[in-house]
Amino acid sequence: MTHIAAVRCAFPPHRYAQSELTDMAARVCLPENADRRLLDRLHGSARVDFRNLALPIEEYEKLTGFGAANDAFVSTAVELGRESVSAALKAARLTPGDVDLIMFTSVTGIAAPSIDARLVAELGLRPDVKRLPIFGLGCVAGAAGIARMHDYLRGWPDHVAVLLSVELCSLTVQRGDSSPAGLVASALFGDGSAAVVFAGDDRGPAGPAVVATRSHLYPGSEHVMGWQVGDGGFRVLLDASVPAVVRQYLAQDVHDFLTDHGVTKEEISAWVCHPGGPKVLEAVSEVLDLPAGALDVTWRSLAAHGNLSSSSVLHVLSETLATRRPEPSTWGLLIAMGPGFCSELVLLRW
């Protein structure tokens, strides 16, 4: 098995109430003097209270193109990556020299050399550290990253690996994009990072164990979520059918996965779910028939930080470990969904 030694998150210092972000979205996304009732309704129903931004709020109206936004992504991602990885290694009582593999994931900016390469010297990682930058998985990448780390450490049980997610969703907001998907994104998504330190089985138990994982790509759903890449950068694709896709597939996926490993739904003591948004979380709770309060940590994460794309489920995992840690030997299930459309399930043993 693979053991989760530590999870730590980091956020940009620029933090704003949802009402301030609604006003910024009106200035950036809507035509001058446009009717903003739809924008106000979407922002008010997002169940988000605060979000952190990569830049001070007044800087967003000055971003004139993809190049400027991506420059801000690179500099902020390096800063947040350094902070979250350093904190996670310290919490795991490991040094940068102990790390054998670092995986970096993001869907909100691009860099070559990749962000993980830029962090090797800054963090003091070994020059022979294995690196694996991943782009395109979106919101599911936090869970998929855990799954792929598990695959790697089964083959190298004496190794230490780090998963780093940095998502700066605010830098992808398109000027003049008053589409429903664009307005939903402006209401929901925030900025932050998360780092997870893993230890192989031969390093000794250091935390919750990853027991098994499962991926599922749903046919004919490529249109549901993703990016349309244009001259202005990443324009969000977000179909209203996302909750319906969740209702169609998730319950059977979870049932089959748990059954294959001899676990019942009633034995799950912690549901670590990506906060995709209110309608998605309501769909998850409904189709899985979860007990009251099962997704409280996820709802709190959404309210405090918004949807952080791939970093979100890792933040929920961090908060679960810090504030609602299950009893030893009980089961947990980590769930995320993203572009494809797809899901990733991770079975945990505390």
174 DSSP 8-state letter: P
33 DSSP 8-state letter: T
**Token pair belonging to 315:** 């933040």
**Token pair belonging to 283:** 């769909």
Q: Are 120 and 319 in contact (CB under 8 A)?
A: no
Global pTM reads 0.94
Helix (H, G, I), strand (E, B) or coil at 300: helix
Helix (H) or strand (E) holding 214: strand 209-217
| CB neighbourhood size of 216 (10 A) | 17
As a whole number of angstroms, the distance between CA 13 and CA 240 comes to 32
**Token pair belonging to 268:** 């799950």
Helix (H, G, I), strand (E, B) or coil at 61: helix
Per residue of the chain (350 residues), give pLDDT as tens.
799 999 999 999 999 999 999 999 999 989 888 899 999 999 999 999 999 999 999 999 888 889 999 999 999 999 999 999 999 999 999 999 999 999 999 999 999 999 999 999 999 999 999 999 999 999 999 999 999 999 999 999 999 999 999 999 999 988 888 888 889 999 999 999 999 999 988 886 678 999 999 999 998 888 888 888 888 888 888 888 888 999 999 999 999 999 999 999 999 999 999 999 999 999 999 999 999 999 999 999 999 999 999 999 999 999 999 998 888 899 999 999 999 899 999 999 99
In angstroms, the Cα distances linking 181 to 26, 151, 298, 310 are 14, 35, 22, 19
As a whole number of angstroms, the distance between CA 83 and CA 89 comes to 10
Helix (H) or strand (E) holding 53: strand 50-53
Instruction: For residue 250, give the amino acid letter.
Output: L
Helix (H) or strand (E) holding 265: none
The residue behind tokens 């709770």 is 285
As a whole number of angstroms, the distance between CA 196 and CA 202 comes to 18
Q: At what angle do helices 296-305 and 310-323 cross, to 10 degrees?
A: 120
State the catalytic residues.
139
Helix (H, G, I), strand (E, B) or coil at 233: strand
Chain CA centroid to CA 51, Å: 14
